Amino acid sequence: MQKGRKRFSILLSLFLLAFSFSITPAFSIESAEAAPKKENPSVKAYDQKIIARVSSERIFEDVRYLSETIGPRVTGTKEEQQAAEFIKERLQSYGYEVETQEFSIPDRMIGNLKTSDNSEVLINIPAGSAVTPAEGITNELFDAQLGRTTDFTSEAAGKIALISRGEITFKEKVDNAVAAGAIGVLIYDNIDQPGPLNPSIGGDAPVPVGGISKASGLALLNDVALQGKTVTLVVEKLESATSKNIIATRVPKKGNNHDIVHVSAHFDSVPFAPGASDNASGTSVALELARILKSYPIDKELRFVFVGAEEIGLVGSEYYVSQLSQDEIKRSIANFNMDMVGTSWENATAIYMNTLDGQANIVTETAVAAAERIGTPSELVLYQRGASDHVSFHDAGIPAVNFIRREPGTANLEPYYHTPLDTIEHISPERLKEAGDLVGSSVYNLIRK
Ligand code: BES
Ligand code: ZN
């Protein structure tokens, strides 16, 4: 009891803190201190049909499969396709009618950098970089420091310039290297970040250009000092690539022209990120809800929409929405989008409900009511934010919400976001279940007979 009271006062002060800054309208969920669910009198039998079945282990294992067995699922790669295939087979095994939508994505650059002792260095290639021959270019490095004109000597000609971020623009660095006769450019970060630098060079360069981390850059400076050591850089353009959406649909047994509820999650990730939180978490919770919601009578149409190509600008969800008929859009009453719902980062104690206009809608209202009934432990916060697939639904006029875990008050995301540290180690099975219970009981309450 002592512990319970302490926790309540922490929650209360967090709430008051958020309120005093009047940052966001926050819903303080009274049942934050709810007794164990089975003793909670406000849990209805229909909620129980969901929360008794949401399995944190099953969701966690799917997060593991997507983030570890498959790994980073970069838009347009075979790993993204593999994830799509995994989702499709799983939905079919549950007995759903499954549709695959394929669409093309813009061309993009990919690179590979290896040292002479064959160790791999993570690299980002900016748009505008030149490509290399298929076997790449193998050359010595030139330490061009900050890449100012005065940092280059005649020694740079025919070498790959290794340049630190800072002081002048990336474009100026590249121009100076080219003027000095360098045949490639590697720019390393000047701050410690787990992933490689993503430089933007504003236009086309006549030589291949890549961004690497500070740690990689400092390690490569050794190769310069050792002289005669080379690196091999391969840059290619990935053309005519495609991505996919996987859609599972259930329609009520009787009647037609039912309202439609869309549950969505993206399964692609950014380069070098295993994407356990972003967004194997939402994908796996949605798969679990698909399993559970297959078995109950419904009076609305239910669609699970697993989208690709979110990370390059919501391309998959925009495509999905563009394929809906006017009639389908008219019948669409809600989109529950889950993106980053399972981080174990201790500060992310709130479940944010992001809407484009910051206003409540049928989705937030349904979720607040469900949270009160089932005693969702986390505070729910209504917040104005895009940046996920709910934007595409909203733009079509469909009430849409992105469910996402954040730090209350600051709205900070976990520090592993979009980095190689977005791994299963930073995922909480309990929080996955909490998201599944909340979204599951909300959706079920909307569609149940
Ligand atoms: N999983 C994030 C969701 C998100 C929402 C991140 C709000 C940050 C704030 C999503 O995958 C993402 O990374 N979105 C991109 C924008 C998108 C349009 C490519 C982002 O926020 O950088
Ligand atoms: Zn993301």
Q: Is the pTM of this model over 0.85?
A: yes
Residues with CB under 6 A from ligand 1: 278-279, 310-311, 313-314, 339-340, 385, 387-388, 404, 413
42 vs 31: CA distance, rounded Å? 10
| Ligand lying nearest the CA atom of residue 309 | 1
Look up residue 404 and give its two tokens: 């996402």
Ligand 1: atom nearest CA of 279 is 1
> Strand 400-406 vs strand 332-338: parallel, antiparallel, or unpaired?
parallel
DSSP-assigned letter for residue 74: B
Instruction: Compute the distance from residue 388 Cα to the ligand 1 centre, in Å.
Output: 5
All residues at 6 or more sequence positions from 367 whose CB lies less than 8 Å from its CB, including other chains: 336, 353, 380, 401, 403, 438, 439, 442
Given this model, what pLDDT does residue 225 score? 81
Instruction: Compute the distance from residue 272 Cα to the ligand 2 centre, in Å.
Output: 12
Given this model, what pLDDT does residue 39 score? 54
Positions in the chain whose pLDDT score sits under 50: 1-38
| Ligand lying nearest the CA atom of residue 314 | 1
Among 267, 388, 394, the mutation site with the greatest number of ligand 1 atoms within 8 A of its Cβ is 388
Given this model, what pLDDT does residue 206 score? 98
Given this model, what pLDDT does residue 418 score? 96
Given this model, what pLDDT does residue 228 score? 85
Instruction: Compute the distance from residue 32 Cα to the ligand 2 centre, in Å.
Output: 29
Given this model, what pLDDT does residue 41 score? 66
Given this model, what pLDDT does residue 29 score? 39
pLDDT in tens, 405-447: 999 999 999 999 999 999 999 999 999 999 999 999 999 999 9
Closest Cα to atom 14, ligand 1: which residue? 387
Instruction: Compute the distance from residue 266 Cα to the ligand 2 centre, in Å.
Output: 9
